Amino acid sequence: MPSPFPGMNPYLELPALWHEFHNRLIVAISDSLTPHLQPKYYVAVESRTYLDDDNPELLVGIPDAIVLTTSTKASVEPTAIATQTRPKQIRLPMPIEIKERYLEVREVETHTVITVIEVLSPKNKRKGDGRTAYERKRHRVLGSSSHLVEIDLLRENTPMPMIGADETSDYRIVVSRASDRPIADLYAFRLRESIPNFLLPLKPDDSELAVELQPILLGVYNRGSYDFRINYQKPIPPPKIAEADQQWVDDLLAPIRGEGHSF
Tens-digit pLDDT profile for residues 83-131: 678 898 887 777 666 678 999 999 999 999 999 999 999 989 988 878 8
CB 80 within 8 Å of CB 20: no
CA distance 129 to 215: 33
Tens-digit pLDDT profile for residues 2-38: 999 999 999 999 999 999 999 999 999 999 999 999 9
CA distance 144 to 146: 5
Q: What is the secondary structure of 173-193 as a DSSP string?
A: EEEE-GGGTT--EEEEE-TTS
Instruction: Read off the pLDDT of each residue in 193-197 and give the average, rounded to a whole number.
Output: 98
Instruction: Read off the pLDDT of each residue in 213-227 and give the average, rounded to a whole number.
Output: 97
Task: Tell me which residue of 62, 50, 48, 53 sits closest to 17, measured CA to CA.
Answer: 62
CA distance 58 to 154: 14
Q: What is the secondary structure of 195-230 as a DSSP string?
A: PPPEEE---TTSPPEEE-HHHHHHHHHHHTTHHHH-
SS3 39: coil
Which pLDDT band, with edges at 50, 70 and 90, does 254 fall under?
very high
> In this predicted model, which residue has the larger pLDDT, 54 or 104?
104
Q: For residue 81, what is the enclosing H or E element?
A: none
Instruction: Read off the pLDDT of each residue in 39-44 and give the average, rounded to a whole number.
Output: 97
